[in-house]
């Protein structure tokens, strides 16, 4: 499995014959300076945690260009279908979807979800975290945008993820200190990658608070540069 951070909460995962894009907010991300075509090339699936613009991002454009399957909650899938994403595969909290080389399970997240479209506020379902279980490779948990919650212990018990993608930017999600508490108290990750920081001035500029709070933990903290990859 190859995992590439594309900035904010966006990741590219390459495993077996699948290329998964999670929350592909690229063109609107002021910190993403990479090549859009290269980042999205060969996408087979687009997995979305919730309906905010900085997470749905370029999903409709990518889906139309590549034919990638959109995997998200029902409301987001139908909304993107109306924007031209023909290939949708909806689910909801607690459910799992078999995507061939991997499965996606929707977990809860403490956040909100919606967008403004044509001047109107549109509800886009409940926010989610996502668990990706490859047929070959470690299980990954993208927390989405969330605060800490005690049922993270159940997510850990049920799914036993080894890779955690963790929001640390504060204001709209957990702070770095709280995110580290969540990781250390509830999970046995082998590697955690902090995300959702530094994109806008309202967010924490870097993951230093999270990294400092993770010191002494057996879990490896991998604070990536945009475009940097890990191989598992």
| pLDDT category of residue 149 using cuts at 50, 70 and 90 | very high
Amino acid 96: pLDDT? 98
In the chain, the percentage of residues whose pLDDT exceeds 70 is 100
Mean pLDDT rounded to a whole number for the chain: 98
- The domain ranges of the chain are 2-225
Q: Tens of pLDDT along 189-211?
A: 999 999 999 999 999 999 999 99
pLDDT of residue 132: 98
pTM: 0.98
pLDDT average, residue stretch 128-137: 97
What residues contact residue 37 under an 8 Å CB cut-off, 6+ apart? none
Predicted confidence at residue 22, as pLDDT, reads 99
The CATH architecture that domain 2-225 belongs to is 4-Layer Sandwich (3.60)
Which band of pLDDT confidence, cut at 50, 70 and 90, is reported for residue 138? very high
> Can you give the pLDDT at residue 103?
98
Q: What is the pLDDT of residues 28-82, one digit of tens each?
A: 999 999 999 999 999 999 999 999 999 999 999 999 999 999 999 999 999 999 9
């Amino acid at each position: 499995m190859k995992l590439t951070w594309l900035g904010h909460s966006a990741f590219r995962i390459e495993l077996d014959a699948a290329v998964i894009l999670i929350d592909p907010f690229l063109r609107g991300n002021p910190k993403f300076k990479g090549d859009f075509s290269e980042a999205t090339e060969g996408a087979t699936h687009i997995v979305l945690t919730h309906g905010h613009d900085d997470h749905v991002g370029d999903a409709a454009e990518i889906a139309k260009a590549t034919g990638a399957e959109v995997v998200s909650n029902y409301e987001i899938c139908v909304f993107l279908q109306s924007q031209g994403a023909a290939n949708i595969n909806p689910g909801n909290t607690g459910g799992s979807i078999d995507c061939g080389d991997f499965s996606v399970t929707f977990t809860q997240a403490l956040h909100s979800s919606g967008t403004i479209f044509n001047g109107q506020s549109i509800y886009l379902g409940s926010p989610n975290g996502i668990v990706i279980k490859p047929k070959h490779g470690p299980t990954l948990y993208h927390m989405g945008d969330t605060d800490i919650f005690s049922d993270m212990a159940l997510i850990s018990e049920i799914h036993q993820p080894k890779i955690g993608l963790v929001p640390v930017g504060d204001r709209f999600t957990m702070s770095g200190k709280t995110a580290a508490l969540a990781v250390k108290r509830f999970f046995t990750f082998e590697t955690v990658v902090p995300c959702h920081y530094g994109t806008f001035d309202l967010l924490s500029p870097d993951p230093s608070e999270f990294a400092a709070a993770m010191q002494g933990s057996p879990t490896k903290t991998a604070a990536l540069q945009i475009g940097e990859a890990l191989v598992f």
